[in-house]
Amino acid sequence: MNGEMFGWPTRKHQEALLQEAGAGSEPFAVVPFDSLTAALTDGKIDQWARAPFSVEQLRKDVQVVVPSEGETWREIETKDKHGRTETRNVHTLGDSVVRVQQHLYLSGVDETGRGRGTYFFAQLRRPGTPRSVAEAYDFLKPDAVRDAEARGQTVRRQGEWFAIPTSYTTGQLQADVAKGWATHATRRVLGRDGHHQVDEVIHYERGPRRGEVYGRGVLQHTQNDHYDLDLGFRWHRLVHNVQGNSYSIQGNFD
């Protein structure tokens, strides 16, 4: 079902259709067709109105793997830098997993997005097929995050970036900077062409921890699409999630 945001009176018919689907027994998923168009064209076309295929072709190329439970609100819990739990309500189109040709995608809402949350349509890269939406979300976690959570650590997240608390001191990390293994920077944007920046960053470019990134202070989105994540004075290892291409509700690259 098309999850685009329509105006009145189309929106009224869409709501009725969603209610009817939710009350039925057939599995269904609610995905913006702009996102599907982008996924089927490798991001070359991000508008359903310009799609070079029909609804009939969508029926052949897209299958529901984990069905939606319908458009709803869900209560989510997040933790602040002191480990205190905060609760918010997030609007969801109906989280689900669909197969687009040979690739699996998670259709969901990122609770770190401002307002009612930010919709995303992300390609799952881990082998296997998730049996639930919760398992699909776990597919996005890199091994470093899984290991940290297995040790009982509280891992926080902003968008596609996870923050794992460490016991490293500034002196320890700066010693590696002095060796030439790492560089120190302030207000650095994470990743190539990224949109998340943190107040203070140490990036390992050489040595046994080459490629690792550590940050502290406030992690924020440069376009203000996500709530700020205050990491405090403690150094955190910053790790990107495991996903392929990801698209927004409008089909744009996320």
Supply the DSSP string of the chain, one letter for each residue.
-B-----TTHHHHHHHHHHHHHHSSS----B-HHHHHHHHTTTS---GGG-SS-HHHHHHHEEEEE----SEEEEEEEE-TTS-EEEEEEEES--EEEEETTEEEEEEEETTBSTT-EEEEEEE-SSS--SSHHHHHHHTS-HHHHHHHHTT---EEETTEEEEE----HHHHHHHHHTTSEEEEEEEEPSTT--EEEEEEEEE-SSTTTT-EEEEEEEEETTS-B--EE-TTS-EEEEE--EEEEE-TTS-B-
Do 155 and 126 share a domain, yes or no?
Answer: no
Residue 21 lies in a domain: yes
Residue ending a domain, choose from 117, 142, 167: 142
**pLDDT tens for each residue of 212-221:** 999 999 999 9
Same domain, 138 and 19: yes
Establish if 248 belongs to a structural domain: no
Q: Determine, yes or no, domain membership for 252.
A: no
Distance CA 27, CA 244 (A): 25
Quick one: 35 and 110 in the same domain?
Answer: yes
Residue 253, domain member (yes or no): no
Rounded mean pLDDT, 227-245: 94
Joined together, the tokens standing for residue 158 give 């902003």
Counted domains in the chain: 2
So what's the pLDDT on residue 239?
Answer: 97
> Do 152 and 179 fall within a single domain?
yes
Least confident range of 25-39, 65-79, 111-125? 65-79
Instruction: Give the model's confidence band at 250: pLDDT under 50 very low, under 70 low, under 90 confident, else very high.
Output: low
- Look at residue 83 and tell me whether its pLDDT is greater than 80: no
pLDDT for the residue 26: 85
Domain boundary among 142, 167, 182: 142
pLDDT over 90 percentage in the chain: 61
Predicted confidence (pLDDT) at residue 82 exceeds the cutoff of 60: yes
- Residues 167 and 95 occupy one common structural domain: no
In a domain? residue 4: no
Domain span at residue 185 reads 144-241
pLDDT of residue 3: 81
Global pTM value: 0.86
* pLDDT band at residue 91 under the 50/70/90 scheme: low
